[in-house]
Amino acid sequence: MTSVEDTREQAGNTPSERETVARRLLDSSETLSYDPAREVDWETALDTDHHGTSPEWSTLYGTAYWAELTEAQRRELTRQEAASVASTGIWFEMILQQMVLRDFYAKDPTDPAFQWALTEIADECRHSIMFARGAAKLRAPAYRPRRAVVELGRLFKTVATGEAAYAAILVAEEVLDVMQRDWMRDERVAPFVRTINNIHVVEESRHMKFAREETLERLRGVSRVRKQGIALVVSIAAYFIVTSMVSREVYANAGLDTRRAVREARANEHYKSMLRSSCAGLMEFLDSAGLLTAAATRVYKRANLI
Ligand SMILES: [Fe+2]
Ligand SMILES: [Fe+2]
């Protein structure tokens, strides 16, 4: 990130700077992209000796309830939680694809950024299929955000303008990134889940680069008042994305008492601190972009991101 920004500062914000970044992303995508249909082991039966996420990332890890669970129950819980995160990922990737497609509607197709945007949409399309197959292999039902959140997402993807869209995309991608980096390296996690996370981490690092660039680009020259509004909208989007990641239905599907699990998960300081530490870099970026206003900070605090 620094090198590109440094260059931009030296050269002034010429369109060719943006082109350079987009071209680099296109090249990188040509060199290193995956076909999940071939790379992921879909054939081997699920081995229930494995977790779905690193146990430390479970919403119940560290609670009294967790201490009472057998190892097998803990593994079933993290497998359902992993499926829920993947399903919420699909929900968000569908929002994201539509926002990017809308943003580039009728723009110049010879612009590398245009071609990159379509490449990113194609990546997300493969990711969503991969997440769908992954959740099915984890023997999970369809996990979706609450109805009201689904409708808010529908509204957001229809009306969000570039600045808010790319910042929200960045938030979702960054939060997922830190978790998936942990899971892809963790030998306790099912091998096919690790492969899925690995593919996602590699391809998303380019998306995050683009989202950072676009966020800064679109915020240039935006008035202070408007920026305040954007910052708040982005934080609210982040709140709903993060609080929708693990569905409350995972507990029943893992054979647990939903009420008790939800209560203890909500009060779980360990989980909250995992979220906070994973968002440190993101918050630094939002701050540097002027999007960490007092109002937005309050929302991020409620979402345990700060
Ligand atoms: Fe993705
Ligand atoms: Fe992405």
Report the distance separating Cα 290 and Cα 286, nearest Å: 6
Give the ligand at the shortest distance from the Cα of 25. Answer: 2
> pTM to 2 decimals?
0.93
11 CA → ligand 2 middle, Å: 28
Task: Give me the pLDDT at residue 269, please.
Answer: 98
Query: Ligand 1 center to residue 88 CA distance, Å?
Result: 11
pLDDT for 17: 81
Given this model, what pLDDT does residue 54 score? 98
How many angstroms does the Cα of residue 100 sit away from the middle of ligand 2? 11
Q: What pLDDT was estimated at residue 14?
A: 57
Cα of 228 vs centre of ligand 1, distance in Å, is 28
Which ligand minimizes its atom distance to the CA of 172? 2
Q: How many A from CA of 2 to the centre of ligand 1?
A: 24
Nearest ligand, measured from the Cα of 200: 1
- How far, in Å, from the CA of 72 to the mean position of ligand 2? 33
| Interval between CA 25 and ligand 2 midpoint (Å) | 13
CA of 30 to the centre of ligand 1 (A): 17
203 CA → ligand 2 middle, Å: 7
Ligand 1 centre from 117 Cα, in Å? 13
Query: In a structure prediction context, what are the per-residue pLDDT tens digits for the chain, which is 306 residues long?
Result: 444 444 444 445 556 788 899 999 999 999 999 999 999 999 999 999 999 999 999 999 999 999 999 999 999 999 999 999 999 999 999 999 999 999 999 999 999 999 999 999 999 999 999 999 999 999 999 999 999 999 999 999 999 988 899 999 999 999 999 999 999 999 999 999 999 999 999 999 999 999 999 999 999 999 999 999 999 999 999 999 999 999 999 999 999 999 999 999 999 999 999 999 999 999 999 999 999 999 999 999 999 999
